[in-house]
Amino acid sequence: MLDLLRKRRSVRKYRDEDIEAEVVELLKEAALRSPTSRNFRPWRFVFVTDRGKLAALSRAKESGSSFLAGARLGVVVCADEGESDVWIEDCSIASIILQLAGQSLGLGSCWIQIRLRMHTDSVTSEEYVRSILRLPEYIRVESMIAFGYPDEEKEPVPAEELEAEKILSA
């Protein structure tokens, strides 16, 4: 697990190569095994492989989501906020579980924040994503994750560059 964390980097360039159906199924299993507060499981996951929808979703924010158009899979992480008061935390946990599972399967990924971001001056990113996917109003969108086989190589962050001062003494 520590090796996965060491190697995991945000990947925004992907090869023109489909992700095998069995790999997508493993990602779905990983998502559904994500821990949640009080085991309420408020999250929902939309797995998107359609290139047109990926291109539309890549325009969800004014900046920071365009690379989704080049991915072969996008996972929209959302929740029924009425099922849990900590749906944001539960979706965040599921997001990193998905990214680590993807890393273990040879995929690159990058997390895209949607909640509290804007598509335009008058439309939130969340509203935009809901409209593209035709999700009901009660579904809250936390994030999207782009997945694909990496077409860029990034070195792990060296241990000496980690911010050890962020570990506080008790």
Q: Which amino acid is at 138?
A: Y
Lookup: tokens for 4: 């996965």
Name the pTM for this structure. Answer: 0.96
- The tens-digit pLDDT sequence of the chain (170 residues) is 899 999 999 999 999 999 999 999 999 999 999 999 999 999 999 999 999 999 999 999 999 999 999 999 999 999 999 999 999 999 999 999 999 999 999 999 999 999 999 999 999 999 999 999 999 999 999 999 999 999 999 999 999 999 999 999 99
Separation between Cα atoms, residue 150 and residue 119, nearest integer Å: 27
Would you call 84 exposed, middle or buried from its count of C-beta atoms within 10 A (0-12, 13-18, 19+)? buried
CATH code, residues 2-152:
3.40.109.10
Q: Where are the domains of the chain?
A: 2-152
